Amino acid sequence: MVIATRNKGKVKEIEKILKELGVKVYSLFDFPDMPKIVENGKTFEDNASKKARVISRHTHMLTIADDSGLEVDYLGGRPGVRSSRFSGKDADYVKNNRLLLNMMEGVPKSKRRARFVCVISIAKNGKVLEVVRGICTGRIGLRLKGQTGFGYDPLFIDPKRDKTFAELGSIIKNKISHRYRALKKAKRAIKRLLDN
């Protein structure tokens, strides 16, 4: 099975969650000649399905692709599908988090609601077979906290534990995250498809 991403953080996270399926998992690092896919869809579903279709057509393997991001209520749902490119052309985690903090400066705790969204599309031979969505609600912190994870993890606070995803560590995060919730829904379909 192929995970259609070049994001090392996502690869690690997805591999851990899918480990119990007992299947050999590849990523785009194993296929350096794969085309670069422009994520220009208007929704997470558009982008995940486009990636899954293209990569499955090239590899002839069952392919899962995700598109995920952060939606902040105060910002009208931004950064949304532009989460990884939020701070512009040369965006990286540091710049994206800095921009988000600047845009949220002075916003009270009660108006800092946010959600991580993950959409997973499963495809084979260029055809989408299943699309699932996972959501994890929380709020945006006032400053970066924690050392683990990637992306907006140092700013996204899980309200139940009152800690950022970066403070929780991967073991706890991988049991509550948006990606875990989406993959949990996708697991049954993946198992069924692998058995065929």
Average pLDDT, the chain: 92
Q: DSSP labels for 76-140? A: TT-BGGGGGGTT-TT--HHHHHHHHHHHTTT--GGG-EEEEEEEEEEEETTEEEEEEEEEEEEEE
Q: Which residue has the higher pLDDT, 45 or 14?
A: 45
**Angle of helix 178-195 relative to helix 8-18, nearest 10 degrees?**
60
| pLDDT single digits (tens) 58-82 | 999 999 999 999 999 999 999 999 9
**CATH class of the 2-195 domain in this structure:** alpha beta
Q: Is 90 a catalytic residue?
A: no
pLDDT of 170 above 90: no
Task: Tell me whether strands 2-3 and 26-27 are parallel, antiparallel or unpaired.
Answer: parallel
If pLDDT is split at 50, 70 and 90, which confidence band does 196 have?
A: low
Q: Which of 67, 73, 92, 153 is catalytic?
A: 67
Whole-prediction pTM value? 0.88
Q: pLDDT, tens digit, for every residue of 100-151?
A: 999 999 999 999 999 999 999 999 999 999 999 999 999 999 999 998 888 9
